[in-house]
């Protein structure tokens, strides 16, 4: 109880989550008379980071930074316009499809929302779409980033839960497609009942040019997935190859990145990687301390007393993670909650790969819900509309997201079928 109080007090006063986790660990050791273990904390911090899987994090972050700086998204927008731009509400579909393509490269929902907000919201408003609807479509599309492979959240879950990252990547494919279809249905219903602007079919002369322009950026995630599925490369090696390809495309072919841009890109990647690795190390230490008092076992017993249904347990996980996500950043929620809940999931015969998909999906909801909702603030600032108006506009997409999450929780084959077929 003392540890919980200290944890939430630290969060309320604004301490960094890494410091909060370490203080929580020290308080827990003190309150349980296990201060003798404090001397082992440095060893545990080092051990938590001594994992090969962590190398994939900075590599895929580097891919995202290079492709972002290299103008990837604008080229993907033009390529998406070829396929869906001519439908009623065409630009909304273009926004969604571009988000799906960019998600597989950028990997970060917050980064994706920031990039797409700057590009798509002004373009949609100019074509006659309401500003709040334009921002809501962009915000919803940003939720695809952490589920469509290669996903940064999947990599982090794989490291924390000791699960194969390649299988987690594959498991995200069908859930991602289901959510894309759900969001497209919402846009279609808006087109029917709210009268979205009609799209414009691209002239024949431009189609080939735009497809070729978007071919190289769009091929990078396909190459990554193909190499991982074929067993030619590990996810870490695939991240390295993707980084090299991204640099060649942006620097040599498009000439959109200069050598003087590289120090800034490397610094941003190093800073983000250090932040994530610090969270993983601190959360691992807390989990290590809790294991000495059998807290995970007690949690298993407590939840088992409430329900022995895997589906009801997953609904409970959704609820807990969504509530935590209202106050904490998604990566922080995952790193804190996975060591505690994964043993419960395993005891209920829930596949750890499927559980990873469930956790990744549930952490996304916090991006679009107050009071923290980083995605809400990014889109609100870019579109210059109040948070309340934006949240009301995104509710239909949020409800569709929740419906898809329930389906994925009830039918684990949506996650597991691709991994089983490709084994």
Alpha carbon distances (Å) from 172 to 56, 120, 251, 360: 17, 25, 31, 9
The distance of Cα 170 from the centroid of its chain, to the nearest Å, equals 15
pLDDT attached to residue 48: 72
Q: Summarize the confidence of residues 123-148 as an average pLDDT.
A: 83
Tell me the pLDDT band of 408, cut-offs 50, 70 and 90: very high
Q: How far is CA 146 from the centre of its chain?
A: 2
Give me the helices (H) in 326-386, please: 330-347, 352-365, 374-383
pLDDT value at position 357? Answer: 93
What is residue 49's predicted lDDT score, i.e. its pLDDT?
76
> Taking 90 as the threshold, does the pLDDT of residue 182 lie above it?
yes
Whether the predicted pLDDT of 99 surpasses 70: yes
357 versus 243: the higher-pLDDT residue is 357
146-169 pLDDT, tens digit per residue, is: 788 777 788 888 888 888 888 888
Percent residues over pLDDT 90 in the chain = 11
Return the H-helix or E-strand segment holding 414: helix 413-421
Whether residue 107 is predicted with pLDDT greater than 60 in this model: the reply is: no
289 upstream amide cis, omega within 30 of 0: no
Helix (H) or strand (E) run with residue 269 in it: helix 262-292
pLDDT in tens, 56-72: 778 877 877 787 777 76
pLDDT at 308: 78
Q: Which strand (E) or helix (H) includes residue 68?
A: helix 56-69
Q: pLDDT tens digit string along 15-24?
A: 777 787 788 7
Among residues 211, 261, 206, which one has the least CA distance to residue 69? 261
pLDDT in the model for residue 274: 82
Domains of the chain: which residue ranges?
A: 17-421
Write the pLDDT tens digit of every residue in 193-234.
777 776 665 565 566 665 666 677 777 777 777 787 777 887
Q: Is 324 helix (H, G, I), strand (E, B) or coil?
A: helix
Quick one: average pLDDT of 371-375? Answer: 65
């Amino acid at each position: 109880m003392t540890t919980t109080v200290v944890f939430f007090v630290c969060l309320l006063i604004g301490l960094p989550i890494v410091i909060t986790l370490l203080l929580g660990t020290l308080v827990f050791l003190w309150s349980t008379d296990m201060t003798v273990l404090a001397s082992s904390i440095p060893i545990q911090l080092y051990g938590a980071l001594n994992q090969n899987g962590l190398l994939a994090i900075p590599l895929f972050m580097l891919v995202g930074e290079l492709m972002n700086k290299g103008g990837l998204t604008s080229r993907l927008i033009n390529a998406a316009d070829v396929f869906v731009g001519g439908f009623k509400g065409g630009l909304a579909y273009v926004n969604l499809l571009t988000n799906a393509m960019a998600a597989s490269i950028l990997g970060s929902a917050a980064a994706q929302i920031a990039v797409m907000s700057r590009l798509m919201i002004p373009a949609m408003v100019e074509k006659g779409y309401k500003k709040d609807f334009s921002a809501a479509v962009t915000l919803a599309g940003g939720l695809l980033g952490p589920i469509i492979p290669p996903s940064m959240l999947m990599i982090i879950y794989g490291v924390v839960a000791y699960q194969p990252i390649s299988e987690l990547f594959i498991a995200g494919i069908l859930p991602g497609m289901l959510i894309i279809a759900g969001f497209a249905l919402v846009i279609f219903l808006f087109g029917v009942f709210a009268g979205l602007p009609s799209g414009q079919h691209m002239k024949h002369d431009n189609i080939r040019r735009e497809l070729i322009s978007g071919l190289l950026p769009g091929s990078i995630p396909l190459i990554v997935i193909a190499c991982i599925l074929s067993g030619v490369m590990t996810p870490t090696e695939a991240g390295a190859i993707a980084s090299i390809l991204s640099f060649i495309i942006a620097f040599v072919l498009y000439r959109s990145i200069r050598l003087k841009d590289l120090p800034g890109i490397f610094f941003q990647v190093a800073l983000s990687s250090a932040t994530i690795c610090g969270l993983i190390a601190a959360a691992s230490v807390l989990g290590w301390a809790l294991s000495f008092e059998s807290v995970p076992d007690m949690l298993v017993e407590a939840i088992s007393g409430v329900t022995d249904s895997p589906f009801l347990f997953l609904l409970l996980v959704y609820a807990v993670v969504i509530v935590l996500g209202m106050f904490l950043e998604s990566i922080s929620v995952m790193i804190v909650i996975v060591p505690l809940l994964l043993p419960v999931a395993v005891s209920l015969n829930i596949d750890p790969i499927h559980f990873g998909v469930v956790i990744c999906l549930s952490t996304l909801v916090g991006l679009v819900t107050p009071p923290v909702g980083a995605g809400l603030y990014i889109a609100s600032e870019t579109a210059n509309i109040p948070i309340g108006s934006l949240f009301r506009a995104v509710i239909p997409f949020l409800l569709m997201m929740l419906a898809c999450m329930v389906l994925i929780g009830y039918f684990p084959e949506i996650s597991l079928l691709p991994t089983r077929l490709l084994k």
